[in-house]
Amino acid sequence: MMTVEERYLFDLQGYMVLEDVLKADELRDLNQVLDEYDLWNESPGQGGFFDSWRNGDHQVSAGPVHRFAKPFRQLLGHTRIVPYLTDLLGKQFRFDHGHAMLMKKGGEALALHGGGAPKEPGIRYEVADGQIRSELLVVEYALCDVAEGDGGLCVVPGSHKSNFACPSSLASLEKPGAWLRNVPQKAGSVVIFTEALTHGTLPWTADHERRALFYRYTPGYMAFVGRYREDGLEASDGGYPQPSHSEEGDWSPEERRILEAPYFWQRDDTFPES
């Protein structure tokens, strides 16, 4: 459960940083698998990572992360993260989609997006009856150190409650100022932010490779992306994320519940209290 201080600051800023979420052995296993995947040499949209794209020659993203090896699947319902997901999305939250992002020095910026205005279905944020109600929520795991000024994730604190759209002159990131925060992170830390927060990516300037994992969640009654097929085509039956590519015993009951398709009526809690 979020503390009073955490809830206040998250509502104020639209994001929060949790330190030391991943242990050294978890970081080692995740980075080792990424080394084996060799995403830099994957053709976009081909191979095992059909949800993939590039931003120039120095940035690559690939997913869906729930179809990666077991160390990545175990993060779906990480014990440190579940209480925050419950407080920000409700007890019936679900995993929607996610990807890994790698950047080399010289990686280009990605323009700011999101924000409180105009209000877009699927990313809205509000507080009602003392309860934070978020729709699309992002959990970013840092697999490397990110010092302020290195680049990578940047946010406009408080913009999730803005009444005006971010001007294109600012969204382009051509002239960043004090209003923009490059979020520093230690390897193993987590940034949780609402998609309604105006955010983007600054050019990567550090000598080491940026490695980050993005896990996106929704309330149990909605999907944002929702469809995943190996061939990248939509399925007439919905095609929501399913663990069918792995052996039956390879998935825990918690992992299966968190991948359940969206619905509202009589939906069980994702992580029932013991």
Q: Given this model, what pLDDT does residue 253 score?
A: 83
21: three-class secondary structure by DSSP: coil
Q: What is the C-alpha end-to-end distance of the chain, expressed in Å?
A: 15
Q: Do the strands 125-128 and 94-103 form a parallel or antiparallel pair, or are they unpaired?
A: unpaired
Q: Is 120 among the domain residues?
A: yes
Which tokens hold the place of 209? 């490779």
Look up residue 160 and give its DSSP letter. G
Look up residue 143 and give its DSSP letter. S
> On the CB side of 248, how many CA atoms lie within 13 Å of its CA?
0
Q: Is 222 among the domain residues?
A: yes
Residue among 221, 212, 215 at smallest CA distance from 102 = 212
pLDDT digits (tens, 9 = 90+) for 141-185: 999 999 999 999 999 999 999 999 999 999 999 989 999 999 999
Q: Do the strands 131-134 and 210-218 form a parallel or antiparallel pair, or are they unpaired?
A: unpaired
Q: What is the CATH number of the domain that holds 71?
A: 2.60.120.620
Asked if residue 118 has a cis previous peptide bond (ω within 30° of 0), the answer is yes
Are 215 and 139 in contact, with CB atoms under 8 Å apart?
A: yes
The span from the CA of 221 to the CA of 215, in Å, is 18
Q: Given this model, what pLDDT does residue 45 score?
A: 52
Which tokens hold the place of 128? 């009602």
**What letter represents residue 150's amino acid?**
D
Domain span at residue 100 reads: 4-258
According to DSSP, the residues that pair with 97 across neighbouring strands are 216
The span from the CA of 271 to the CA of 83, in Å, is 10
The span from the CA of 154 to the CA of 141, in Å, is 14
Burial of residue 235 (CB within 10 Å: 0-12, 13-18, 19+) is exposed
Q: Is 267 among the domain residues?
A: no
Q: Is 213 among the domain residues?
A: yes
Q: Give the residue ranges of the chain where pLDDT is below 50.
A: 229-239, 243-245, 274
Q: Is 265 among the domain residues?
A: no
Q: Given this model, what pLDDT does residue 237 score?
A: 44
Q: Is 89 among the domain residues?
A: yes
The span from the CA of 84 to the CA of 159, in Å, is 20
Number of structural domains the chain divides into? 1
Residue among 22, 3, 85 at smallest CA distance from 258 = 85
In the sheet with 59-63, reading across from the earlier edge strand, the strands are 15-18, 190-194, 137-142, 210-218, 94-103, 59-63, 51-54
Q: Is 172 among the domain residues?
A: yes
Q: Is 64 among the domain residues?
A: yes
Q: Given this model, what pLDDT does residue 159 score?
A: 97
Q: Which residue has the tokens 């205005």?
A: 117
